[in-house]
């Protein structure tokens, strides 16, 4: 789909927003979540919007909530604090909300692909985990990506936390040892699955021949720009 190079947006009516590409992390002024890659920016006001937030359709559906109709809101409906049902993080700005069921989704979470291709194999989005997340060690509710054999599992929320920690370490001049600690906290997909099969005494089967780029691809999807270019950029932040 061809994108307009300039748009007017109702939440920033004074100036046009221009489409640009950045490899530097930014905070979206719409949903208040992190972003990278394509964004719409006001050069006069330093106002930024994710592509997903700037071009959000007024209503969407989601395969995980097939009875829901999500409407787009510029701010959370009602006075109570709400959380995104995908990443379990606070909703602080733009949101998709289902009035009948009460579910909420950040715009970028609502756009997470059901299947991610890391270059060799697929990762599948699921609404809850039946196996333990490699980062937090917990299973259950919370959108996650998992491998076909279900032995590599990562909550979207856990990847978000690592992403923010890593950026803070890199851009706030934190001790380099802290950066290395964050970068090695999640094992690569290939190594995890190979170890799993060896521990069971089995051969390293076909599902294990996956490049260690899974976290990079998940991060690029979370940031609203799931492209190979972005995956390569963010790969240096988290997964080694």
pLDDT (0 to 100) of residue 175: 56
CATH topology of domain 6-54: Wheat Germ Agglutinin (Isolectin 2); domain 1 (3.30.60)
What confidence tens digit (pLDDT) does each residue in 81-128 have?
Answer: 999 999 999 999 999 999 999 999 999 899 888 988 766 668 899 998
**Number of neighbouring beta carbons within 10 Å of residue 176:** 10
Helices 156-171, 214-222: inter-axial angle, 10-degree rounding: 90
- Over range 8-25, report the average pLDDT: 90
**Number of neighbouring beta carbons within 10 Å of residue 50:** 29
Q: Is 231 helix (H, G, I), strand (E, B) or coil?
A: helix
184 contact partners, CB below 8 Å, separation of at least 6: 240
Q: Is the dihedral of CA 208, 210, 185, 84 positive or negative?
A: negative
Q: Strand order in 122-129's β-sheet? A: 115-117, 122-129, 140-147, 153-155
C-alpha triplet 49, 53, 59: angle, nearest 5°:
165
The DSSP letter of residue 110 is H
User: What whole-number percentage of the chain has pLDDT above 70?
Assistant: 68
pLDDT (0 to 100) of residue 139: 85
pLDDT (0 to 100) of residue 25: 78
pLDDT (0 to 100) of residue 97: 96
Where do the domains of the chain lie?
6-54, 59-110, 115-235
**Confidence label for 222 from pLDDT (cuts 50, 70 and 90):** confident
pLDDT (0 to 100) of residue 47: 94
Distance of CA 217 to the CA centre of its chain: 9
- pLDDT higher at 123 or 236: 123
What confidence tens digit (pLDDT) does each residue in 42-71 have?
Answer: 989 889 999 999 999 999 999 999 999 999
Domain 59-110: CATH class, spelled out: alpha beta
- pLDDT higher at 169 or 27: 27
pLDDT (0 to 100) of residue 5: 93
Residues 75 and 106: their CA atoms lie apart, in Å, by 11
**Number of neighbouring beta carbons within 10 Å of residue 186:** 23
Adjacent-strand bridge partners of 204: none
């Amino acid at each position: 789909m061809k994108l307009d190079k300039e748009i007017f947006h109702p939440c920033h009516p004074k100036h046009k927003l221009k489409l640009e590409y950045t490899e530097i992390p930014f905070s979206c002024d719409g949903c208040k979540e992190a972003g990278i890659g394509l964004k719409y920016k006001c050069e006069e006001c330093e106002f930024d919007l994710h592509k997903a937030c700037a071009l959000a359709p007024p209503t969407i559906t989601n395969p995980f909530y097939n009875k829901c109709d999500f409407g787009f809101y510029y701010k959370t409906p009602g006075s109570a604090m709400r959380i995104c049902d995908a990443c379990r993080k606070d909703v602080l700005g733009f949101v998709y909300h289902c009035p009948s069921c009460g579910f909420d989704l950040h715009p970028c979470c609502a756009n997470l692909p059901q299947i991610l291709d890391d270059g060799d194999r697929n990762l599948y989005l699921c609404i809850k985990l039946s196996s333990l997340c490699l980062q937090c060690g917990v299973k259950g509710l919370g959108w996650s990506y998992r491998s076909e054999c279900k032995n590599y599992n990562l909550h979207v929320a856990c990847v978000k936390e690592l992403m923010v920690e890593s950026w803070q370490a890199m851009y706030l001049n934190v001790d380099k040892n802290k950066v290395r600690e964050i970068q090695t906290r999640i094992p690569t997909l290939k190594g995890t699955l190979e170890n799993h099969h060896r521990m069971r005494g089995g051969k390293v089967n076909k599902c294990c021949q996956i490049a260690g780029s899974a976290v990079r691809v998940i991060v690029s999807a979370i940031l609203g720009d799931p492209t190979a270019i972005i995956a390569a950029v963010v790969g240096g932040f988290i997964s080694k």
